[in-house]
Amino acid sequence: MTSGHTDGQGLKGRVKRNGLIFIILFVGLGLTLLRFTGGIGAVTNLSDRNPWGFWMAFDLLCGIAVSAGGFAVASAYYIFGFKRFHVYVRAALTTAFLGYFFEVIALLYEVGQPWRLVYPFFLSQGTTSVLFLVGLCVALYLAVLFGELLPALFERLGRKKARATAVRLAAPLAVIGAVIAVIHQSSLGSLYLIVPSKMHPLWYSRFMPLFFLLSSLFAGLSMVVVEGGLAHKFMRGCADDRHVRDADRAVPACGKGACLFMFGYFIVKCMELVASDNVGHLYTGYGAWFLLELAGGVALPAFMYFAGVRKGRTNLIQGAAIITVLGVILNRFNVSLVAFNYNLPAAERYFPSWMEITISVFLVTLLVIAYRSICSQMPILRTHENYEKEIQ
């Protein structure tokens, strides 16, 4: 009786999830049609004064930050030799690849004239523009990520020689990917260096490229932990027992790395705050919001990571990972929306339309569907039976 009742609940849960996904896809496709037939103004509250909005904050800044787990884990495994990260490499690279791929798709929505997206590369090489550097790095890193995932693809196709070649290229590609990712993550912070008069002093800093890089590292490692927990809970059929066991053992390693980067970020952030003589701003409303971001999104999960690793509590580390990801998302929204154009009257400030938010939810849903499909068809969360001996 209990088993039948449980199966019935599981079936109802799947029906509800599938129904929700169908509604999101249906509405998202309708808004997509409206966007590309009626123009960008038909679905957004953007203007000449506020040309960057929710899509820039969520799709680009947040999406790229949480996708940093790909280069962080690949670097730890291939470059620094931390073998415990092996269990996370393919899953992290898959998430990063899909994150960057769907960021390119999102850019088609965000750019007023999407057919001009390739112009900087072929018609007007704006080599002095930070945006050109960002676009170039996205294109190059997407190609590198595809190369790093080729071993899993060739295992699925049964191409042993091609797979052997791809495995030999994995380490060099990891080095190239790390260089590109470091430039790319820091260059996103550089985008805001030219607007000191538009951004609140508590968030504006000449060290923004460094802050964006450090925060992307602990965001990426945290996202790997979050993603692993969700995958093992909702996609257990795609993972073998060995992967689940090794992933549980690797969680503390991710926690250690994230904790170190977070303490470094927190110390540098506080030092820069004092050096820039912005402490007085902490007594304002913006100051309270800044402290919430720094204390709640960085200091709190850093201590949770520390305690979780010391006491061997996986659940505490996973909780810290969730808070960290949310904290980095809050930071990116603060930089690009809350603290940006802060001196404008409230009536002239930008606020996203429901259609902007819905389209982003639509794209995230497509990403999750793609991730689930890839993991079900390729050895991402499991070890291919022909190559189990290679995994020590």
The stretch 39-46 carries a mean pLDDT of 92
Identify the band that residue 387 occupies on the pLDDT scale cut at 50, 70 and 90. Answer: low
pLDDT tier at 244 (50, 70, 90 boundaries)?
Answer: confident
Two structure tokens written together for 195: 């607007």
List, in sequence order, the alpha helices (H) in the chain: 2-38, 54-55, 63-66, 69-74, 86-110, 119-122, 130-148, 150-157, 160-190, 208-234, 241-275, 285-291, 300-311, 314-333, 354-377
What pLDDT digit, counting tens, does each position of 179-230 carry?
Answer: 999 998 999 999 899 889 899 999 999 999 999 999 999 999 999 999 988 8
Averaged pLDDT, 240-250: 81
Query: Could you tell me if residue 140 is inside a domain?
Result: yes
Q: Which residues, 6 or more positions from 162, have their beta carbon under 8 angstroms from its beta carbon?
A: 150, 154
In a domain, 270, yes or no: yes
Kindly state whether residue 303 falls inside one of the protein's structural domains: yes
Asked, for residue 11, whether it belongs to a domain, the answer is no
Using 50, 70 and 90 to split pLDDT, how confident is the model at 1?
Answer: very low
Q: Please say if the pLDDT value at position 124 is more than 80.
A: no
Give 322's strand partners. Answer: none
* Residue 166, domain extent: 29-385
pLDDT of residue 93: 94
* Whole-number average pLDDT of the chain: 89
CATH number for position 67: 1.20.1630.10
Residue 302 lies in a domain: yes
- Cα-Cα end-to-end distance for the chain: 43
Q: In the prediction, which pLDDT does 272 show?
A: 93
**Tally of domains in the chain:** 1
* Domain-embedded: residue 23: no
Residue 12 lies in a domain: no
Residue 187 domain-assigned (yes or no):
yes
Tell me the pLDDT tens digit for each residue of 340-372: 988 888 888 899 999 999 999 999 999 999 999
